[in-house]
Chains A and B, each alone.
Chain A
C-alpha cells in the first residue's frame, strides 16, 4: 500500500470559529456562520448571505502585532493567522531546523484593497503601499514572513475553488520526492465586492441559507476563511517523535474540459479526480468511510458532483455531507478548510450533518448525512471542484 504523508499541525479561521477547536464545536453543534454581510458595503446586502469572519482588519493586525504601515490585504491577514496556528499546533519552535516550504492558495489575493482604493491610489499617497500587494503571490510572501520561512520554496496556486486542495497535493508530492522535509500548505480568501458581484452575475448566489444537495437549492453563499496544515516527512516525524493527526493518503487532479465556469452534466472531471486519488492511495472505493463533498449548493455543482460520486461508488456510496452550509463557499481556501474538517472527522470519529437539507434531488436518490453521526472512521475523501474545469480530490487516513 502507498504510504501517506503525515499531517502534524492544523490552523483555521472561518465564520464558524477562530481556531480549530471553535470550528469543531460549531460543526458538531450544527451552528452555521452564515449571516448578512457587515464589513463590505454592497448594494446586494439584503439579497445575499455570507460566511463572514467577525474580526475587523484592525483586530487581525493587532493579533499579528503588525505596525500601522503594513500593507497586508485581508487575505494575507487571515492566512497569517491560520498558518501561525498550524505551525504552533505542530510544535515547531524553529521553522528553519528542516527544509521547510510554504504553498498557499488564493483567488481573491489583494483584490479587497484594489477595489477599496481603485481611484484613491491616484489621490492619496498613503494608499499606494497596497499597489505592490495587487498580485496573488503577495499574501503568500507575507505569510512566509510571518512564519520566518526564508530563502525557500514558497509559491501560490490559483485554480479557483480547487486551489487549496491542490496546494495540499503539491505539498505531499514535494515531501514524497524528498524536495522538502516539511511544508505548510493551505489557502486563504477574503470576501470582496469582486467575487460577490461576479457570482451574482452568474446568478448562483442564494438569497438565503445555502442548502447543499437539496432539490430546491438556490445557489451558494460566499464565505471568507483561511486554513493551513503542516505536512512532514517520516524522518522528521521520527526524529522529533511527533504526534501525527492524520495522513494525506491519496490525491487526484483532473480537468473537466467542459466549460469555463460550469461542470459537465456527468461530472467527468470529478469522477477522474476521485478515481486518481483512490489509485494513488491504493484503496478500493469501498474503503472510504465518509465523503466531505464540495457541495456548493448550486444547481450545477451538486448535480454534477452527485453523479460523479455515483459513478465512482455505484451502489456503495458512503456517508457524505457538505459543510458549505456552515462556512459558505470559501473559494480558494475551501480545500484547506475541508481538509481540517476531514482530519477532525477522523480524529473524533464523526460525520458532520449536511445542514438545511429537506428534499432529495429528483435526478437521483442520494441523501446526505442529516444528523451528527458517530462511527469509527478510517478514511475520508474530500472533493474540491472549480472554474476552469479544475477538479481535485484528497483522501485522508488515520493510518499511514
Chain B
C-alpha cells in the first residue's frame, strides 16, 4: 500500500488565502452572521467569457484547483474528486424561484444546466480536458472527507498517481433566510474573535473552496502525509471513545498528537462535541480552531485541512487560531475533528513528511 501525500494546496475563503506565498499574515475580522469569500482576481485564471458563464461556486472551485495544480507543477491529473454539500446553490435557487414565480413558464436552461451537484467537478474536468475518474460527494459535513477517503483509496492501491481533491460550497440568500428561520444561522451578528463565546445557537455561515493535489509520489514541496481518515454518520457512544478507537486503529496514543484542529463554530447547542475533546483527553494537547476565520459551510473542514497542511509545512502557527495556551515547538502529527449539528463526524490524521 502506497503512502498518500498532500502535494499542493489552493484556497479561496473569507480570508485572503489564495496566495500560497503567505499564510494568514493579515487576518480579516468580521462582525456578521453571514460572511463571503474574498475573491481573487478571477481573470488571472479564467477568460472573461468563461468567467461570465460560471457561478461563484464554479469559479471558486476552478480557480482553487488551478492554484493547487500550479503549485504542484501539473497541467492535469489522473482523477478529480469533489465534495460539496449544496452544489451550485445560486443557480439551483435561481431556477427554482423562476419555476415558482412564473408558474413554470418562460424558463431558460442556463441555470438548470449549472445547478447539478457535479457541475464544479465537471467544469474542472472540461477545463483540463481530464477524462479520468470523476466523482462528486454530497454528504453534508463529510462531503469533503468522503472525497479524501476515495482519493486515498485510489492512491494507496496505485489506481492513480495524482488526484485533484477539493471541497467547495457557495452561499445564497434564500437558503440563508431558511437557515435563519430555524436558528442554524445565528440571529445576532458576532465578531470573529467572540465566536466561541457567543453562547447562542447557530453558526456564522460562509462559503469557500479548498483544493489539494494528492499523490502517492512525494515531492520536495509536499505539505503532509494523509495517514488516516474516518467518517461517522452518527455516534452510538461518546466522541472520546471514537477518538480513542481511531487513534488505536492507527497505533497512536494521545501523546503522539502534537496539534488538535477543531471545527468549533460557536453553536452552543453542538460545540459540546469539541469541548468534550478539548477539555478532556486532549486537555494537554495544543489546540487550534478556524471557523471564526472561514465561517461554517458543509465543506468548511477543507479549510481545516488547508490550515493543518500549512502548519506542517511552514512549522508556523498563526496566533489567531490558537484555542489554548499549550505550546509545541515541533509539529509532526496533527489530528483534525469536525462535525455539524451532532451528525457526520470525521477524524483526519496528517503527518509531517
A interface, CB within 8 angstroms of B: 42-44, 102, 106-107, 109, 111, 114-115, 118-119, 121-122, 128, 131-132, 134-138, 140-141, 144-145, 149-160, 166, 170, 173-174, 177, 179, 193-194, 197-198, 200-202, 253-261, 268-269, 272, 386-390
Contact = CB atoms under 8 A, between A and B. Distances in A.
B343 A151 contact: no
A157 B137 contact: yes
A388 B134 contact: yes
A138 B142 CA distance: 12
A201 B98 CA distance: 12
Interface stretch (B99-107, B202-210, B305-313, B331-339): B99-107
Given A158-B116, A173-B153, A253 B135 contact: yes
Contacts of A150: 233-236
A158 B109 contact: no
B107 A197 contact: yes
The prevalent SS among residues of B at the interface is mixed
B109 A257 contact: no
Contacts of A156: 137-139, 146
B139 A155 contact: yes
A269 B134 CA distance: 11
Interface in B129-188: 129-140, 142-143, 146, 149-150, 153, 156-157, 175, 177-179, 181-182, 184
B140 A135 contact: yes
A290 B130 CA distance: 30
A11 B343 CA distance: 27
A135 B141 CA distance: 11
B107 A387 contact: no
A389 B139 contact: no
Instruction: Find the residue from A132, A150, A198 having the highest chain B CB count within 10 A.
Output: A198
B119 A121 contact: no
B99 A159 contact: no
Nearest to B242: A151
Contacts of A44: 104
A365 B273 CA distance: 62
A158 B182 CA distance: 26
Instruction: Find the residue from B95, B153, B178 having the highest chain A CB count within 10 A.
Output: B178
B70 interface: no
B114 A155 contact: no
A157 B136 contact: yes
A105 B147 CA distance: 14
Contacts, number: 203
A387 B127 CA distance: 15
Contacts of B107: 197, 200-201
Interface of B: 80, 85-87, 92, 95-97, 99-100, 103-105, 107-109, 112-119, 121-123, 125-126, 128-140, 142-143, 146, 149-150, 153, 156-157, 175, 177-179, 181-182, 184, 230-237, 242, 298, 341, 343-344
A144 B104 CA distance: 35
Contact of A135 (B86, B118, B234): B86
Contact of A118 (B97, B125, B126, B233): B97
29 contacts: A42-B104, A102-B233, A111-B96, A118-B96, A119-B100, A121-B181, A131-B184, A135-B138, A136-B117, A137-B140, A145-B234, A150-B235, A151-B232, A151-B235, A151-B237, A155-B146, A158-B118, A158-B136, A177-B157, A194-B96, A197-B95, A257-B128, A259-B126, A260-B113, A272-B131, A387-B119, A388-B119, A388-B123, A390-B134
A128 B343 CA distance: 19
Given A115-B99, A131-B181, A134-B175, A388 B104 contact: no
B139 A134 contact: no
A132 B109 CA distance: 27
Contact of B118 (A128, A159, A202): A159
B142 A155 contact: yes
B118 A131 contact: no
Given A166-B135, A197-B112, A389-B126, A158 B117 contact: yes
Contacts of A137: 85, 138-140, 142-143, 344
A179 B234 CA distance: 18
Nearest to B133: A253
Contact of A193 (B104, B126, B140, B343): B104
Given A43-B103, A122-B181, A198 B237 contact: no
Contacts of B128: 257
Nearest to B157: A177
Contacts of B184: 131-132
